[in-house]
């Protein structure tokens, strides 16, 4: 089997089961594999050739990206060996490669405490930016999810998250009562139509605003720090792990917890929001 046939086999049998963002990464990898190996038999590819390929592919990339491309290449060969019963050793399964493309240790990040987050929010005079911060810090939304929200996605205290990171068609997020009221008032005052974006700005604008806000308080931070605070604050206040996982973070990749977690209904999700932030 040559590399082109193997890639097509992988696409048809495996890519359809992966998330869209993961698929995009594999497609980039495959375009480079095709160009580099140009129809070579998959059984003939050596460890040294894989190292040379990866070095040419990710020469200027970060350590995290280098590790990701190595892991994807290794997973591709593993899949083909297992599915097609190829009598070869995975050319990526070599200690030298594993060390050379190892995953970097994540940098320790400071968690924003409640007092600071409250002060940051209360010192934000713009209703739009304040709501953006609250939806992240109180409701656990990703900044990309916040910026995609339309007026039609808001129903009382429930938010419809379209095309979430999990790969599902949609998910639900929930708001404390006071944030839901402020959001409703904001939509009325701004005369936002059902199909209009709630916050018609781009990510770079939000990031720049949060950077400037942090500088006033001598804190280096990014939009994602507010979502991280949401989970940490909930955990420190005794909120069950399944609520943090399924309601706040909607982390459907936490398979070890989902094995035994039951379904959480809307009323229970809202009850925990009230307990966490009050009405």
DSSP sequence for 237-251: TT--HHHIIIIIS--
Higher confidence at residue 260 or residue 171?
Answer: 171
Dihedral, 231, 232, 236, 242 alpha carbons, nearest 10:
30
Higher confidence at residue 236 or residue 199?
Answer: 199
State the CATH class of domain 114-277.
Answer: mainly alpha
Spell out the domain ranges in the chain: 3-100, 114-277
Tell if the pTM clears 0.75, that is, is over it.
no
Give the pLDDT of residue 256. Answer: 38
Q: What is the pLDDT of residues 74-90, one digit of tens each?
A: 999 999 999 999 999 99
Q: What is the pLDDT of residues 219-258, one digit of tens each?
A: 999 999 999 888 888 877 888 877 878 788 887 555 533 4
**Least confidently predicted of 14-28, 53-67, 83-97, 260-274:** 260-274
Higher confidence at residue 56 or residue 18?
Answer: 56
Task: Provide the 10 A C-beta neighbour count for residue 248.
Answer: 25
CA distance 259 to 242: 11
Rg over CA atoms, the chain: 23
Confidence band of 278 (pLDDT split at 50, 70, 90): confident
Give the pLDDT of residue 92. Answer: 95
Give the pLDDT of residue 246. Answer: 78
Residue 146 near residue 165 (C-beta atoms within 8 A): no
What CATH number has the domain spanning 3-100? Answer: 1.10.150.130
CA distance 200 to 141: 17
**Span 203-226, average pLDDT:** 94
Give the pLDDT of residue 108. Answer: 62
**Least confidently predicted of 29-38, 42-51, 183-192, 239-248:** 239-248
Q: Half-sphere exposure (CA, 13 Å, Cβ side) for 85?
A: 0
Give the pLDDT of residue 264. Answer: 63
Confidence band of 195 (pLDDT split at 50, 70, 90): very high
Confidence band of 109 (pLDDT split at 50, 70, 90): low
């Amino acid at each position: 089997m040559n590399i082109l046939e193997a890639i097509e086999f992988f696409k048809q049998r495996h890519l359809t089961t992966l998330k869209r963002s993961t698929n995009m990464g594999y497609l980039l990898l495959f375009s480079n594999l095709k160009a580099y190996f140009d129809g070579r038999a998959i059984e003939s590819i050596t460890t040294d050739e894989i190292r040379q390929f990866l070095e040419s592919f990710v020469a200027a990339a970060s350590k995290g990206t280098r590790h990701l491309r190595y892991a994807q290449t290794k997973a591709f060969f593993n899949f083909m060996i297992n599915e097609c019963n190829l009598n070869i050793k995975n050319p990526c399964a070599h200690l030298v490669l594993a060390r050379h493309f190892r995953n970097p240790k994540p940098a320790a990040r400071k968690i924003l405490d409640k007092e600071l987050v409250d002060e940051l929010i209360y010192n934000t005079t713009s209703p739009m930016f304040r709501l953006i911060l609250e939806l992240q810090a109180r409701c656990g939304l990703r900044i990309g999810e916040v910026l995609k929200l339309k007026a039609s996605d808001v129903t009382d205290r429930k938010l419809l998250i379209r095309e979430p990171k999990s790969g599902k068609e949609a998910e639900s997020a929930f708001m404390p009562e006071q944030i839901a009221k402020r959001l409703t008032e904001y939509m009325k005052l701004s005369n936002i139509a059902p199909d209009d974006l709630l916050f018609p700005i781009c990510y770079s604008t939000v990031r720049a605003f949060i950077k400037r806000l942090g500088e006033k308080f001598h804190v280096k931070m990014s939009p994602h720090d507010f979502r991280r605070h949401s989970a940490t604050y909930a955990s420190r206040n005794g909120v069950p792990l399944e609520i943090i996982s399924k309601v706040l973070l909607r982390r459907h990749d936490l398979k070890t917890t989902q094995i035994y977690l039951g379904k959480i209904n809307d009323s229970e999700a809202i009850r925990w929001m009230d307990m966490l932030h009050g009405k």
